[in-house]
Amino acid sequence: MNGVHDMGGMHGMGAIHYEKNEPVFHARWESRVFALFRLTRAWNKWNVDVSRRQIESIPAAQYLRMSYYERWFTALGELLVASGLITRAELVKGKRARGSPKATPPITAAQVASMPSAAALARREAPVAPRFQAGQQVRARNLHPVDHTRLPRYARGKLGAIHRDHGVWAFPDAIAHFLSDKPQHVYSVRFAARELWGETASPRDAVYLDLWDDYLEPA
């Protein structure tokens, strides 16, 4: 999706504001949103790409205006309703519907430290052959999917070289829709800064992206 979340290379976003001795959370509600988001995912009703897709679907103007955890909170409400864990009415009222069953939380306080990471959940053991080898020249495909993808706009159509093979992973463009995993290799691909940004970029600099097989073609 050519959304506003795909920010690499954009201008006009202003100066970087650095906060000294920044706390982990700026308010209690942020920490609660963070924890709610993490713990409800343990129901396995969605994966990390489904939740990213949900955040990316926030209309651009709102996305830019919202703080980080406000985006999480907005996405969480929608994910909970879409997955059937709660109803829209429950979300709005903040009250459990009369007669609705009471579940048992999947994660206890003692299990918090050993929850699987998004990486563990996305890695696949499938015996898929790599299409490319380290050192090989590749071109990022000129794709413009209308939905979730992890191929940033700024790299599309650009020439790079395979730096390293990271093994086999589930394909985000598919699992964001609960479709089959489409397991495939992910590679670290090196793009010269000048290939991406033109003559004014340093001839020495480079950007490395982690890209799935389906995002690449031989060059």
Partner 1 sequence: MKATRRGFLTAAGAAAAAQDHVHAQGHDHDHQAVPSDLTLRVKSLESLLVEKGLVDRAALDALVDRYEHAVGPRNGARVVARAWVDAGYKKRLLASAAAAMEELGFASQTGENLVAIENGPKVHNLVVCTLCSCYPWAVLGLPPVWYKSAPYRSRAVIDPRGVLREFGLELPEDAEVRVWDSTAELRYLVLPERPPGAEKLSEEALAALVTRDAMIGVAKVTLPQAGGRP
Least distance (Å) between residue 218 CB and partner 1: 20
In the stretch 157-196, what mask flags binding to partner 1 with x, by CB under 8 A? ---------x--x----------------x-x----x--x
| Beta-carbon count within 10 A of 207 CB | 20
Q: Which stretch binds partner 1 (CB under 8 A): 120-128, 131-139, 176-184?
A: 120-128
* Per-residue contact string for residues 198-217; x = within reach of partner 1 by CB under 8 A: ---xx-xxxxxxxxx-----
Total residues at interface with partner 1 (CB under 8 A):
99
**Residues in CB range of 199: below 8 A, 6 or more apart:** none
Closest CA to 155 of 94, 211, 98, 214: 211
Q: Using the rule CB under 8 A, which residue among 2, 68, 134, 180 binds partner 1?
A: 68
**Is 120 one of the binding residues for partner 1 (CB under 8 A)?**
yes
**Could you tell me the smallest distance in angstroms from the CB atom of residue 191 to partner 1?**
9
Q: Considering only residues 83-112, where is the footprint of partner 1 by CB under 8 A?
A: 85-86, 90-92, 94-96, 100, 102-105, 107-112
Is residue 219 within 8 Å of 159, Cβ to Cβ?
Answer: yes
Among 55, 79, 138, 161, binds partner 1 (CB under 8 A): 55
CB-CB contact of 51 with 75 (8 Å): yes
Q: Determine if 152 is a binding residue for partner 1 (CB under 8 A).
A: yes
The smaller minimum CB distance to partner 1, of residues 161 and 209, is found at 209
Burial class (CB in 10 A: 0-12, 13-18, 19+), 45: middle
216-218/184-192 β-pairing: unpaired
Stretch in the footprint of partner 1 (CB under 8 A) among 48-56, 130-138, 174-182: 48-56
Shortest separation between residue 104's beta carbon and partner 1, angstroms = 6
- Residue spans of beta strands (DSSP E) within the chain: 137-140, 159-169, 184-192, 206-212, 216-218
User: In terms of Cα–Cα distance, which of 89, 127, 113 is closest to 38?
Assistant: 113
Between CA 179 and CA 134 the distance in angstroms is 29
**How far apart are alpha carbons 27 and 31 in whole angstroms?**
7
Q: Does 129 bind partner 1 (CB under 8 A)?
A: no
Ranges within 13-32 binding partner 1 (CB under 8 A): 13-20, 22, 24-32
